[in-house]
Structure 1
């Protein structure tokens, strides 16, 4: 199925001028004083384009703080009025959406736990039919690009053309330094498919720790993300939710001030000429790589036939272990990361098994 989105060229809802959009505010609206105090401090930095706050908090377990509810929408709008900044919050169902619209929230976003459920997204889309409001959609909890695109399409088909995506990383059983593994290839592919779709990165949920915010933010901007959504709280250590990933407005100001904002391109003709030369070399090498991979798979097919004729299983664990150890040694000597080597070997091995499986199941012609 061809993937298309009917998007508006108007990005003024996200940012008023050039440069990345900065969306900030507390993970949760806790009290009116906490929310307005945070908002005023953020506005004073001169770097924030939009205020955010969680009104309803989808928590994994009951008896956790699940947000203050509709009352918080009043506080959020008042914070926006006092600072002159637009405000945004998460909606997880039709009722949330109706209440946010009733209170005049400027921008809505759909969270990862909702994106994963097409029924919930459709209920929100049904409420939004005929409503002129920008909506951002976070990636689903699991790394499923079609699920992310499907949620965007549902909201778009409701008539919402001022649409955006939020990259917040993906849940995993794997233990890493991240709260949610970024898997940057997913927002990159989304950008490739929909180059006009603004994508905002959420370093707070990717990192889960304030110490990682600067590094993740810089990575996001270097990958042409259109903005950052970073959680900020006047007293983050006392926050009622996600305390470890929130920073004070002063700390946020420092982090943003240290980021390098690079241009997407340059009009320097020497740069363009030299870049084209280097890219041509990469194209030539890529062609060689694919030819070599093609040769490798032909040999894998021959091995498969030989195993079939001699009634030998496809997988030879000792051989596979030897390949991994040898290739990792070579990879390290060439300056390639272990993560890259592991991923590449697994992809090649999977294709080799697939090729051998085809010939192993063929009937031998007599």
Structure 2
């Protein structure tokens, strides 16, 4: 992967203190609504940038799709009167042109746009030679490569003020969240792009204002750089995503009560003790990998035996019995059942793949 140049977050955002807080309505609905929300947010003293959706990509037609161009002067007024940076979503080159014309400070790419490399490239080409920060939301589907690819496209046209926004992923699985967080995905993004700031969008993850505080805290526990929270003076009357918006006062309370921990401990003995524990984890991991190697060797033997006897690699009954047994044993060790289930699904998938390969090799030899 090509090394990208990423500017530090504090080089393009005047951050009062961690976390960076971006807030404002899901959609700009009227000049009065935008101005009043901004006024209350600025008075609360916790917000670093003001957001509002000008164009709203919606799943179904004949729903509120934003006020469009008429809303950009409302945003400009907020910037002028309150001295706060403004940000909005852009989905094509025309949006980019209009946003730049109206002095928008930061652009963000929505989840529905990130899924389309053609759309992302169109926006990137429109920004070639422009010095402006761009924040990229994860695609709606669980695809890290697609998320990274969108960020790389903006880097390729010379932009270095880049950030990712984690807004969760669509899932058929029913959970308490609107979009399942899959925290492992932004963690892996950070591992692959360590200089890239990551901002959490708890509004779209939660889908419920009562859950936003806990998602914000989880983002801080994951060492994310900031949060972008949808905020409205009368959330229940909002024209879009009413259930997931909070009031300015609610936002103030959420941010005030966040526990923000340091990435590096200040205690002199902390690093030594941490390294000792990490060394123990490394030793355990080596043992796990060695045992997994032994397990896969047995799987190969099973695959060979099945091939010789013309038996299918996939044995659903065996998988069900194994899963039930491992879940029961996991409970004895106080392991989360979801973790055990996901672990053995992965192991079983790899085992079936390996047995299938063995069978294909056996056929070739025959």
Q: After TM superposition, is the score higher than 0.5?
A: yes
Match of 1:32 in 2: 31
- 1:94, 1:123 within 8 Å by CA — same for their partners in 2? yes
Match of 1:259 in 2: 258
**109-118 vs 170-179, greater mean Cα deviation:** 170-179
Q: Give a deviation string over 1:24-43, Cα, whole Å, max 9, x none.
A: 00000000000000001011
Report the CA distance shift for 1:203/1:118 in structure 2 as closer, same or farther (over 3 A): same
Are 1:213 and 2:212 matched, yes or no?
A: yes
Match of 1:278 in 2: 277
Q: Give a deviation string over 1:56-96, Cα, whole Å, max 9, x none.
A: 00001111000001111100111122221100000011111
**123-132 vs 224-233, greater mean Cα deviation:** 123-132
Equivalent-residue separation in structure 1 for 2:226 and 2:14 (angstroms): 9
Match of 2:122 in 1: 123
**224-233 vs 268-277, greater mean Cα deviation:** 268-277
Are 1:95 and 2:90 matched, yes or no?
A: no
- 2:235, 2:247 within 8 Å by CA — same for their partners in 1? yes
TM-score normalised per structure 2: 0.97
Please, which runs of 5 or more residues in structure 2 have no aligned partner?
none
Q: Give a deviation string over 1:165-211, Cα, whole Å, max 9, x none.
A: 11111111221111111111111111111111111000000111101
Please, which runs of 5 or more residues in structure 1 have no aligned partner?
none
Q: Give a deviation string over 1:212-243, Cα, whole Å, max 9, x none.
A: 10111111111111000000000000000000
Match of 1:168 in 2: 167
- 2:113, 2:119 within 8 Å by CA — same for their partners in 1? yes
How far the C-alpha of 1:51 sits from its partner, in A, is: 0.2
Match of 1:306 in 2: 305
Q: Give a deviation string over 1:296-332, Cα, whole Å, max 9, x none.
A: 1111111111111122221222221110110000111
Match of 1:5 in 2: 4
Are 1:348 and 2:347 matched, yes or no?
A: yes
How far the C-alpha of 1:362 sits from its partner, in A, is: 2.2
Equivalent-residue separation in structure 2 for 1:325 and 1:110 (angstroms): 43
Q: Secondary structure at the match of 1:70?
A: helix
**78-87 vs 68-77, greater mean Cα deviation:** 78-87
Equivalent-residue separation in structure 1 for 2:191 and 2:345 (angstroms): 25
Q: Secondary structure at the match of 2:68?
A: coil
Match of 1:151 in 2: 150
Equivalent-residue separation in structure 1 for 2:112 and 2:14 (angstroms): 26
Match of 1:222 in 2: 221
Q: Secondary structure at the match of 1:303?
A: helix
Q: Secondary structure at the match of 2:129?
A: coil
Equivalent-residue separation in structure 2 for 1:195 and 1:227 (angstroms): 15
**222-231 vs 304-313, greater mean Cα deviation:** 304-313
- 2:9, 2:197 within 8 Å by CA — same for their partners in 1? no
Q: Secondary structure at the match of 2:362?
A: coil
- 2:170, 2:179 within 8 Å by CA — same for their partners in 1? yes
Match of 1:239 in 2: 238
Please report the RMSD computed on the Cα atoms of aligned residues, expressed in angstroms: 1.3
Match of 1:136 in 2: 135
Equivalent-residue separation in structure 2 for 1:87 and 1:300 (angstroms): 57
Are 1:177 and 2:179 matched, yes or no?
A: no
Q: Secondary structure at the match of 2:6?
A: coil
Q: Secondary structure at the match of 1:151?
A: helix
How far the C-alpha of 1:8 sits from its partner, in A, is: 2.1
Equivalent-residue separation in structure 1 for 2:358 and 2:83 (angstroms): 68
**236-245 vs 4-13, greater mean Cα deviation:** 4-13
How far the C-alpha of 1:10 sits from its partner, in A, is: 5.7
Aligned length: 365
Q: Secondary structure at the match of 1:67?
A: coil
- 2:139, 2:146 within 8 Å by CA — same for their partners in 1? yes
- 1:11, 1:162 within 8 Å by CA — same for their partners in 2? no
Match of 1:63 in 2: 62
| Consecutive aligned runs of 4 or more in structure 1 exceeding 4 Å deviation | none
TM-score normalised per structure 1: 0.97
Equivalent-residue separation in structure 2 for 1:361 and 1:160 (angstroms): 48
